[in-house]
């Protein structure tokens, strides 16, 4: 069953969490050759993001081919609302309804990894914490005043922010988030959740440029062809001009 994922507007970093969003990004381990990771990431994306966020630049058929999933399994496990296998990954929620319900139309996520960066996405997904003053009861240490609920809470659980005082240059004291601590465990422990988020970000990175690995493999062949032809042209040039020089 798909989970309601509202506004993955801006995604993002941990360890020293400043209240203003000045934080250190955690590193995602991106491996686009790891099809098992991409398949798990596709599952998380469809179940936790695709209810509200489209990825219309990617077709289900292309995803299945690249990730080694048969069309039958794609239709059975990754398509739930009557789409066709050659359709883009769109949603049924109308923009006007989204703005009415959430105050903003959730953006398409096809290129979010390219625009924000994989480390940013990875850190953001891990940085939700309890804040009863916010409309959905949570905020994000990387993106303060986020307009998105913690849709992954059933996996990660709920975190609280632990603050510390920092003296600024003008002598004033400012509270910053030092770390986040789990107060309500989820279905996954920390290591399992980190792996799940890495899989999700890995898939979203693939989604931003599905042809990247193919392009890189073809690039080496093109460079080798150019190198070989350069040698051939060089010797042809010497043969052609030998009587003149």
Same domain? For 235 and 172 the reply is no
Whole-angstrom distance, CA of residue 86 vs CA of residue 150: 31
Same domain? For 167 and 235 the reply is no
Helix axis angle for 35-48 and 60-67, nearest 10°, is 150
In a domain, 105, yes or no: yes
Q: What residues make up the domain containing 158? A: 35-209
Same domain? For 138 and 72 the reply is yes
Same domain? For 119 and 193 the reply is yes
On the question of pLDDT at 72 being above 80, the answer is yes
On the question of pLDDT at 27 being above 90, the answer is yes
Find the mean pLDDT for residues 2-9. Answer: 42
Same domain? For 143 and 178 the reply is yes
Strands 138-140 and 157-167: unpaired
Phi, psi of 136 (to 5 degrees): -100, 10
In a domain, 21, yes or no: no
In a domain, 7, yes or no: no
Give the DSSP letter of residue 17.
Answer: B
Is residue 106 within 8 Å of residue 6, measured between CB atoms? yes
Confidence of residue 29 (pLDDT cuts 50, 70, 90): very high
Q: Which of 143-152, 160-169, 183-192 has the highest mean pLDDT?
A: 183-192
Same domain? For 133 and 243 the reply is no
Same domain? For 62 and 135 the reply is yes
In a domain, 107, yes or no: yes
On the question of pLDDT at 171 being above 60, the answer is yes
On the question of pLDDT at 59 being above 50, the answer is yes
Same domain? For 142 and 215 the reply is no
In a domain, 216, yes or no: yes
Same domain? For 150 and 224 the reply is no
Same domain? For 96 and 184 the reply is yes
Is residue 67 within 8 Å of residue 38, measured between CB atoms? yes
3-state secondary structure of 161: strand
- Nearest CA to 104 out of 114, 90, 113, 93 is that of 93
In a domain, 5, yes or no: no
What's the start-to-end Cα distance of the chain, in Å?
Answer: 77
Is residue 116 within 8 Å of residue 10, measured between CB atoms? yes
Q: How many domains does the chain have?
A: 2
In a domain, 3, yes or no: no
In a domain, 19, yes or no: no
* Residue 54: both structure tokens together: 């489209």
Q: What is the CATH number of the domain that holds 109?
A: 1.10.760.10
**pTM of the complete model:** 0.79
Confidence of residue 4 (pLDDT cuts 50, 70, 90): very low
Phi, psi of 175 (to 5 degrees): -85, 130
Same domain? For 224 and 170 the reply is no
3-state secondary structure of 92: coil
Quickly count: other Cβ atoms within 10 Å of residue 231's Cβ.
9
Contacts of 18 (CB under 8 A, 6+ apart): 176, 177
Same domain? For 46 and 166 the reply is yes
């Amino acid at each position: 069953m798909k989970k309601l994922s509202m506004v993955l507007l801006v995604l993002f970093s941990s360890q020293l969490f400043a209240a203003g969003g000045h934080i250190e990004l955690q590193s995602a381990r991106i491996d686009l050759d790891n099809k098992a990771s991409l398949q798990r990431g596709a599952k998380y994306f469809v179940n936790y993001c695709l209810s509200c966020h489209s990825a219309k630049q990617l077709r289900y058929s292309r995803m299945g081919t690249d990730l080694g999933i048969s069309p039958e399994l794609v239709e059975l496990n990754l398509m739930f609302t009557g789409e066709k296998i050659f359709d883009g990954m769109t949603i049924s929620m109308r923009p006007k309804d989204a703005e009415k319900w959430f105050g903003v139309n959730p953006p398409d996520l096809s290129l979010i990894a390219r625009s924000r960066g994989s480390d940013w996405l990875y850190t953001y997904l891990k940085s939700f914490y309890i804040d009863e003053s916010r409309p959905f009861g949570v905020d994000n240490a990387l993106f303060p005043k986020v307009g998105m609920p913690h849709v992954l809470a059933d996996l990660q659980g709920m975190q609280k922010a632990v603050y510390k005082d920092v003296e600024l240059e003008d002598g004033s004291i400012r509270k910053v988030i030092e770390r986040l601590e789990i107060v309500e465990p989820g279905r996954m422990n920390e290591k399992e959740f980190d792996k799940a988020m890495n899989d999700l970000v890995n898939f979203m990175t693939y989604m931003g440029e599905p042809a990247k690995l193919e392009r890189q493999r073809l690039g080496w062949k093109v460079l080798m062809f150019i190198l070989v032809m350069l040698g051939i042209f060089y010797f042809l040039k010497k043969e052609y001009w030998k009587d003149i020089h």
